[in-house]
Amino acid sequence: MILKGESNNSILVCGSILFLILIFLCYGTFSIRYIIEGNTLKIRNGIIYSKDVDIYNIKSIKQSYSIISSPSAAFDRIEVNFNKYDSVLISPNSKQLFINDLLLINPEIKIELKKD
């Protein structure tokens, strides 16, 4: 038997949980940062994901439309390949400016983007 008070409490608890999930998803989406600091590319996604990549270890940058989970808020992404077998998918606001900044530090990076 469900009492009126218990039903309202269940709705309040479920609503609170959904609200917290929404806040978490929004925070994850809007806290994504790609920072070039010295010779290091710092990839940050709030408290969830943090990676530092030595720009001199970046081998190539390729266009990617992969749906694999990554610190990226879009599906139009670039794949940054570094070290021997490592890679990360990212989506900077201005891909070309971002790539140009990386090339200023490491002109040996191979670029494989589709022409728009």
Task: Report pLDDT for 116.
Answer: 56
- Residue 8, classed as helix, strand or coil, is helix
- The per-residue DSSP string of 21-53 comes to HHHHHHHHHHTEEEEEETTEEEEEETTTEEEEE
d(CA 106, CA 71): 23
Q: How do beta strands 40-45 and 49-54 pair? A: antiparallel
- For the whole model, what pTM was predicted? 0.69
What does each of the 116 residues of the chain score in pLDDT, given as a tens digit?
444 555 677 888 888 788 777 776 655 555 688 999 999 999 988 767 789 999 999 999 998 877 765 555 556 789 999 999 999 988 888 889 999 999 999 999 999 987 65
Sequence-separated contacts (24+) of 8-15 with Cβ below 8 Å:
none
Q: Domains plus CATH for the chain? A: 56-112 (2.40.50)
